[in-house]
Amino acid sequence: MKLFLTTFFLFLFIGAGVPLTAQNFTKDFQSFSRKKPVTVVLKTGDKVEGDLKKVTRKKGMVTFIMIESTGGKEYNLPAAKVSQFYAAPSGIEKVAKVINFSNGEGWFDPNVDRNLINDGYLVLESVKIKGKKKTMTALLQLANPEFSNGAKVYHMPGGNKKTGSMMIPGVTGTTAYFYVQLGTARYVTLVSKVRYKKEFEDIFKGCDAVLNVDKPKWKDFSNHILTYSEACGSETK
């Protein structure tokens, strides 16, 4: 039965024309497990491991976390003091195991803990979001940990729509918004489905490998990011 299902999915992906080198974005998770330990990397470079005690959000984005370390010390951490926050999704929201035809070797951001990602942990990173009047610092979930070298894509809480029970590698589905940070950009940029074609050249400005696409489509967004990471990501380090 297991062999049959594997063969079926392979046939489905190939028959649908999905390239075997495609990558997929992670699912957007809104809750974290309180039963598994978390890991926090501070802006100072120090690492804290312990239990998650509290999460504060603003507009759906994580702006503050409270951690009790394995040594019993309490850490009250606003997003501005955190570099990365690793947590397992809650029991309600389990990481969907998806067939992945490419391991992203060579495009993995060296600052991301690959072991924790492989263990099913999410990684949220501290980003700056520039508003009309103020700049907000928040922890956003990295959507492309396996191909984020020079090209970071973050989930926008509340901006994602369901794509169905099955995720197909390389397909963005009906997700409407992401935040993107390419190269050495100081702030993340909001990228939307409705404006993607119009803003495509501005988003990937300077990366000919991506700009050579004849007709940019939203469903190919993750593949465009993969191409950028592979071809132009190292140039921005």
* Closest to 61 (Cα-Cα) out of 164, 173, 168, 190: 190
Per-residue HEC secondary structure of 25-38 comes to CCCCCCCECCCCCE
pLDDT at 8 over 70: no
Strand partners, 237: none
Instruction: Please report the pLDDT score of residue 133 as a whole number.
Output: 87
Calpha distance 225→229 (Å, rounded): 6
β pairing state of 74-78 and 61-69: antiparallel
233 CB-near residues (< 8 Å, 6+ apart): 107, 149, 150, 151
Give tens-digit pLDDT for 56-91: 999 999 999 999 999 999 999 999 999 999 999 987
Buried b (16+ CB within 10 A) or exposed e, 150-167: bbbbbbbbebbeeeeeeb
Q: Under a CB-based contact definition with an 8 Å cutoff, are residues 137 and 8 in contact?
A: no
Instruction: Please report the pLDDT score of residue 209 as a whole number.
Output: 95
The pTM (predicted TM-score) of the whole model is 0.80
Instruction: Please report the pLDDT score of residue 6 as a whole number.
Output: 41
Instruction: Please report the pLDDT score of residue 108 as a whole number.
Output: 67
pLDDT at 180 over 80: yes
* 208 or 102, greater pLDDT: 208
Instruction: Please report the pLDDT score of residue 185 as a whole number.
Output: 92
